[in-house]
């Protein structure tokens, strides 16, 4: 009797999970050129074209530029208290210029060391930036 009761309990608990519809899986691999949709700030400026065309062995350059971009935006947010979309996702030109002038000629090892410093800086900025952006509904 215990086995039957246990089996019935398992089935009853599993029924709601089984009733959920699975996500639609498709084999359609058609590439669409529609703009990526984000949860917030869909009108973000496009990344520099070279970031999408770079050789995989130099992807560390793209990652470094993305880190720098986020840090510069977060510094402005922390300094001004404004987390509007234009502040959170500014134009890439100034950051790309800074990267090109100061960091583009560095080796991969130097990029890695620099990124570690940037990650530490980003961790310091995150609590304040998160608080500001959550209060404005843009986190």
- Identify whether the C-beta of residue 126 lies closer than 8 Å to the C-beta of residue 75: no
Pairwise CA distance, residues 69 & 76, whole Å: 11
- Identify whether the C-beta of residue 47 lies closer than 8 Å to the C-beta of residue 78: no
| Torsion (CA) 83, 89, 95, 97 in degrees, nearest 10 | -140
Q: Which of 55 and 12 is assigned the larger pLDDT?
A: 55
SS3 100: helix
Among residues 78, 81, 86, 91, the alpha carbon closest in space to that of 136 is found at 81
Pairwise CA distance, residues 12 & 97, whole Å: 61
Q: What pLDDT is attached to residue 29?
A: 66
Sign of CA dihedral 58, 62, 67, 72: positive
Grade residue 83 by pLDDT with cuts at 50, 70 and 90. Answer: very high
Among residues 85, 87, 61, the alpha carbon closest in space to that of 74 is found at 87
Q: What pLDDT is attached to residue 22?
A: 61
Residue 16 has pLDDT above 90, yes or no: no
For 25-29, 37-41, 105-109, which range has the lowest pLDDT when averaged over its residues? 25-29
Q: What pLDDT is attached to residue 66?
A: 94
Residue 67 has pLDDT above 70, yes or no: yes
Q: What is the mean pLDDT of the chain?
A: 85
Average pLDDT over residues 8-27: 60
Among residues 128, 122, 137, the alpha carbon closest in space to that of 70 is found at 122
Sequence length of the chain is: 139
Please state the pTM of the whole predicted model: 0.72
Q: What pLDDT is attached to residue 40?
A: 81
């Amino acid at each position: 009797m215990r086995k039957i009761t246990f089996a019935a309990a398992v089935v009853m608990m599993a029924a709601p999970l089984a009733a959920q519809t699975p996500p639609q899986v498709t084999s359609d691999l058609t590439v669409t050129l529609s703009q990526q949709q984000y949860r917030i700030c869909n009108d973000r400026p496009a990344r520099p074209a070279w970031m999408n065309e770079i050789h995989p062995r130099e992807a560390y350059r793209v990652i470094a530029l993305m880190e720098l971009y986020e840090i510069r935006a977060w510094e402005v947010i922390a300094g001004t208290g404004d987390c509007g979309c234009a502040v959170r996702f500014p134009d890439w030109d100034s950051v790309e210029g800074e990267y090109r002038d100061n960091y583009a000629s560095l080796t991969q090892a130097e990029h890695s060391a620099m990124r570690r410093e940037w990650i530490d800086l980003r961790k310091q900025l995150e609590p304040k930036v998160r608080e500001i952006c959550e209060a404005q509904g843009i986190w």
